[in-house]
Amino acid sequence: MLIDSHCHLDRVDLSPYQNDFSEFMRETREAGVDHMLCVSIDLESYPAMLDLVLPYEDISVSAGVHPNDFDRREPDVEALLELASHPRNVAIGETGLDFFRSEGDLEWQRQRFRVHIQAAREAGKPLIIHTRDAREETLQIMREEQAEQAGGVLHCFTENWEMASAALDMGFYISFSGIVTFKNAQELRDVAARVPLDRMLIETDSPYLAPTPYRGKPNEPKYVRRVAETIAELRGMEVSDLANQTAQNFQRLFSTPLK
């Protein structure tokens, strides 16, 4: 079983599929992708995203507002809880801190992150956390808001072992994207070889960050296989075992039993 634990399906390039989402789904299933988690990045695009994916039972959704953009409708705990109550919702996020893409006074980002953690705890749902150039503060806010009570995943992980280890200690999972296939990502591959197998997820973050050899092109969930292949090779195991193990982890974390 192969699962893409993080993608943005309302943003994938449908031009190879006659601009037809159902054709995209047919080919994605045919390529062996059994389930996808379609991750919300703002409240403005959320209703259309939900409409797009609802007909497909092999797609789950999350509810959240990405840390990159200041000029989005600001969610409060209540709004997130309302979205999280949808039967197809399995998580809160993506949320977190990004000091790489945003500059200036980022108090709004910290506050937004805290609101998401509070909502996740209240909803009893795991967090999908984005963190970039903000290691210490991400961990600090996670601790202050008792994020371990909600649990979750550090998605598209690009940080060092110390951060992975601190998140693992809080009960979090670590998710690897196509970045592990990049030539210059040796440090990240070392982390991927070390994270306990039962605490690891794989993802594409489509349509961003296509793995080698598709780098620079629009990413798609079916390329999650490249992520599985790369990590399986690192760890000297069969691709199918890596895929099955990460699929089990997904089902455990997101309480989403799949057939």
Site string for Ni ion, 151-190 (x = CB under 5 A): ----------------------------------------
C-beta of 28 vs 177, nearer to Ni ion:
177
Binding segment for Ni ion among 78-86, 131-139, 142-150, 199-207 (CB under 5 A)? 199-207
205 binds Ni ion per the rule CB under 5 A: yes
Stretch that binds Ni ion, among 75-83, 192-200, 204-212, 233-241 (CB under 5 A): 204-212
Among 131, 58, 55, 59, CA closest to 93: 131
Give me 182's structure tokens: 């990049």
Stretch that binds Ni ion, among 157-165, 198-206, 221-229, 251-259 (CB under 5 A): 198-206
Size of the site for Ni ion (CB under 5 A): 1
Q: Considering beta carbons, is residue 70 or 198 the nearer one to Ni ion? A: 70
SS3 255: coil
Phi, psi at 40, each rounded to 5°: -75, 140
What residues contact 36, with CB distance under 8 A and at least 6 apart? Answer: 3, 4, 7, 9, 28, 58, 59, 60, 221
Q: Distance (Å, rounded) from C-alpha 74 to C-alpha 184?
A: 36
Whole-number minimum distance, CB 61 to Ni ion, in Å? 13
Interaction site with Ni ion (CB under 5 A)? 205
